[in-house]
Structure 1
Amino acid sequence: MMQVQSGDQREVPTEVLNSGLSSSMCSDENHEFSDLKGDEVAIVVVPFPAQGHLNQLLQLSCLISSYGLPVYYVGSATHNRQARIRANALNASDIAKVHFHDLPTPEFSSPPPDFNSLSKFPAHLQSSWDACMLLREPIASFLRDISSTSRRVVVVHDSLMSYNVQDVSTFPNAESYKFNCFSAFTAYCLICLFLRIPGQHEEELLKKLPSFEGIMTDEARDFSAAQLPYYNVRSGDIHNTSKVIEGKYLDLLAEIYQNKKQWAIGPIIPTNRDHISNRNNMCLEWLNKQLPKSVLYISFGTTTTFSDGEIKELAMGLEQSKQKFIWVLRDADRGDIFTGGARRVELPEGFEERVKEVGLVVREWAPQPEILAHSSTGGFMSHCGWNSCMESITMGVPIAAWPMHSDQPRNGFLMTEMLKVGLTVREWEKREELVSASTIENVVRKLMASEEGDAIRRRAEEMGEAVRRSIEKGGASRMELDSFIAHITR
């Protein structure tokens, strides 16, 4: 399985052993580059400063380092700190093997989210994203230093950091690979839109496909477009998905990018459930007292903020459904999560007292992967960020899809209409309408307490089992990961 026990390393491919890399892991504790000896091959990971992206790149860093390779996680000091303190489901011993290189954090404003906005896109984060465009020079400087002491430097970067890593092409011993933090299906749809080519979708699905309208602001679209000219610098792509889930769309992407190598190595989240019972967390303690598959987990990620009216309807819908639940009730992150006070979201009067035997409201960071892996969890109401989708699929938990922005409408469509492991809470075309308590109640009951919900749950469990097998030795995703490691250490 993907979880590496403390102190262990993965079985290393022969190609890696032959390169002498298995002994090149640096063991210093302060992780400063100046204290490290030269590496045969050094992997430099460059994340994008938003939680869903930071998290995936940190998981990938731990995964690569489990092969005995030195990995440098390079980002602004603020966002590196954020990645470390929110490292869900990762062992501290695995994180300790990753070398965090803190770049000076550029100044940016960090306003609170606008909870009354009809658009759920986190426009308040734009200034932090704009500031990260100032990291090109310090990243190039780091690459210059590390390339002078390494046989090869391998840069793995978020697709939204392509501008910042463009200088990799100026170093003769460096190469870069783009990491896609979203589904292959979404990536394929975006490429078809960009290249103006018709997508290869079944006709019935094509009629239902959600539009791209309203998924982001003009400023965010311009930011994304600014990365495109630097895509060609890369040598290939890494996908946090599995052929078990998205084989068709991975094949279609490979056809489009015939000169770029492709690897589907997901899920990159650890899947070993043995440590769950050892966690001291109120959510897990509460789940331990519930019946198997009886609890709905509700969380809308780190970029979604609900209005007071939306929170009231959700609370009423959950109460009326009479189903067990854990509800993570938080505002969206600020650009700098360490500044500013959080809004205290008010629930309907007496709600928490009335549901205390049925539900748990959590207003702090929750261990989502462990909650989804718990035997008492039987459903997940989600915004359908790709982290959440992959965790839900991997743990075999069906989803109540409520997409908010960006890739989420397509991810939700993939889960409900294509993989058929979920139900839709609200159609994307009705995104600016208030979702009523009765609608929420009906979806929750259908997912958690109906024959249709049971059938969806069985499909989700079967898919989860297949996906977990894919990362075991001999599985499709494991072979892809071994292939990537062999390629970069050739």
Structure 2
Amino acid sequence: MENSNIKNGVKHQTIAFLAVPFLPQGHLTAILNFTYLLTNYGFPVHVAAPGQHNRQAKLRLQVSDPNDFCGKIQFHDLQLPNFSSPPPNPNHDPSVQFPDHLQPLFDIIPKLRQPVFELVAELAQKYTKLIIIHDYFMAFVVQDAKTIPNVELYNFIAPSAFTTFFHYWETMPGNNPLVLGSQVIDPSIVPTNDGCFTPEFVEFLAKQEKLLGSESGFLINTSRVIEGTYVDLLESLSVKTYAVGPFHPIPEPEKDQLPNKERNICLQWLDKQKTESSVILVAFGSATTLHEKQIEELAIGLERSGQKFIWALRSADKGNEETEGGVTNLSALLPEGYEEMIKDKGIVVREWVPQLEILAHPSIGGFLSHCGWLSCLESMSMGVPIATWPIHSDHPKNATFVTEVLKIGVVVRDWAKRSEIVKSITIENAIRKLMDSEEGLEIRKNVQRVCVDVRRAMAEGGASRLEMDSFVARVTK
């Protein structure tokens, strides 16, 4: 069988791709953006995930033409058994804020093993070669695919190379410093995994890691212009690693703007701001619910900072519903009369926001972020400095990379003090430092340099595009 389609100079036999994403929003978004890049090479691309997660991902697409995006990818809606999922807990232990309300979802994920294998077997009969791109956390689900001769597996890594390498480094006997070399940050200042995960998720992770090893390579959402040293180190510990990110599109706010009635309320509000780089976005991702006491302190700190802001105040996604989180009255935790008091300075938004488009707006000058890697990459590519507020998972290591390696951010939540509520005065001072200080100006210069490097890497002939071409060449040989 020959595929007559030739794109980007690539001619290939009937090779198709199947993406098997991990289900939290950040992982799902990253792998979807990667699969869309594959369609530009003329490959048939399939995505297998539970129907509710596919639907939610489509609703949250931040691309210029969602219909084109979805039209080029064939989504397969898998059926998960019914399961009970508790709402996010706003009164959790401040020292361990991993979204344990998602654990029932993680527990049920192994049930996807059989339907995924049946889909793989079906697709493998249609194509000369089927390439499976599976999230690191879905190794259990795809383990049977290696028994089919014309199937090849690649491991998709959503976190940074820095975080992934030091995750492995933490488990290496002796942590031999000679392996690192002189260009690497002192490992002693890199946060360990303590406090990042619940014991239940650590067990889930261990089950996945035991099944890794059948892959032909790793695909990672980063670029060598950002993390070249750590990509090389990670590759030295594993297999061929392709740094083919960032995957997200680059919004062009001056082109094809929607009329105000269709434009997100945050973007409408930003359009009215007269000064560039004057607003800070405050958003903590789709898997975080702030403690009740923390919401009050953050509200006070934002108001007293004197800076304009957009605050996405919402609770984490549920595990089994297409909702905007399980707690609907978070705004009731704000100080009385708060929104009237800050009406000339900021807005509080209670639903999911188009983060990438907001960061691309010229009025945005800072991002108070949980430091999920996707958020970090979006901020870098838009030239927006970061106020770091790590909460769980890979966030602490990413935050260290942002502030200590790239030097494009300031610390708000000190991970060493994670058992404490961050006080309003700490928040106020950090925001002022980022947005209105000499140190903040230097950080802004640094992030602009990173922005230029990242955009060049993503463009034709750039480092990441060349790595993508190299990956395509490998699977088509």
CA deviation after TM superposition for structure 1 residue 12, in Å: 2.9
Question: Identity percentage over the alignment?
Answer: 45
Query: Within 5 Å, which residues of 2 pair with 1:52-451?
Result: 52-89=26-63, 91-92=65-66, 93-118=68-93, 119-196=96-173, 197-198=175-176, 200=180, 205-257=186-238, 260-274=239-253, 278-279=257-258, 280-290=263-273, 291-338=275-322, 342-345=327-330, 346=332, 347-451=334-438
Q: What is the CA–CA distance in structure 1 between the aligned matches of 2:437 and 2:423, rounded to whole Å? A: 20
Report the Cα offset of residue 201 of structure 1: 6.9
How many angstroms does 1:117 deviate by?
A: 0.8
Structure 2 CA distance for aligned equivalents of residues 46 and 187 of structure 1: 20
> Equivalent residue for 1:35?
none
SS at match of 2:404: helix
Q: Could you say if the C-alpha distance between residues 11 and 292 of structure 1 is closer, same or farther in structure 2, counting changes exceeding 3 Å?
A: farther
Q: Which amino acid aligns with 1:253?
A: L
Match of 1:32 in 2: none
Q: Please give the alpha-carbon distance, in whole angstroms, between the structure 2 residues aligned to 1:139 and 1:222.
A: 22
Distance between the aligned counterparts of 1:75 and 1:431, measured in 2?
A: 34
Please state how far the C-alpha of 1:232 moved relative to its aligned partner.
0.7
Q: CA deviation at 1:143?
A: 0.7
SS of residue in 1 equivalent to 2:213: helix
Aligned residues: 458
Q: Distance in 2 between matches of 1:206 and 1:172?
A: 42
Runs of 4+ in 1 over 4 A off after TM superposition: 201-204, 274-277
Question: What CA distance in whole angstroms lies between the structure 1 residues aligned with 2:252 and 2:6?
Answer: 20
CA RMSD of aligned residues (A): 1.7
Q: Distance in 2 between matches of 1:370 and 1:461?
A: 18
Structure 2: which amino acid aligns with 1:344?
N
* Residue type of the alignment partner of 2:210: P
Q: Is the 8 A contact 1:48 1:54 kept in 2?
A: yes
- Which of residues 20, 32, 35 in structure 2 aligns to 1:46? 20
Structure 1: distance between partners of 2:64 and 2:136: 23
Provide TM-score, normalisation by structure 2: 0.93
Tell me the distance in 2 between the aligned counterparts of 1:301 and 1:193. 26
How far off is 1:275 after superposition?
6.5
> Once the 2 structures are TM-superposed, how far is the Cα of residue 341 of structure 1 from its aligned partner?
5.3
One-letter code aligned to 1:247: G
Q: Secondary structure at the match of 2:310?
A: strand
- 1:276–1:185 distance in 2 versus 1, CA, 3 Å: farther
Partners of 2:240 and 2:355 lie apart in 1 by 32
Of residues 273-282 and 209-218 in structure 1, the stretch that sits farther from structure 2 once superposed is: 273-282
For residues 233 and 275 of structure 1, the distance between their equivalents in structure 2, rounded to whole angstroms, comes to 46
Change (3 A) 1:11 1:185: farther
- The aligned amino acid for 1:289 is K
Specify the SS of the correspondent of 1:305: coil
1:37 equivalent in structure 2: none
* SS at 2:211 equivalent: helix
Question: Normalising by the residue count of structure 1, what TM-score does the alignment of the two structures yield?
Answer: 0.90
Report the secondary structure of 1:378's partner residue.
strand
Instruction: Report the AA paired with residue 77 of structure 2.
Output: D
CA pair 198-273 structure 1, distance change in 2 beyond 3 A: farther
- Deviation (angstroms), 1:90: 5.6
1:235 partner amino acid? S
d(CA) in 1 for partners of 2:187, 2:129: 44
SS at match of 2:72: coil
- The corresponding residue for 1:12 is 7
2:87 and 2:402 map into 1 onto residues whose CA distance is 31
Aligned-pair CA distance for 1:255: 1.6
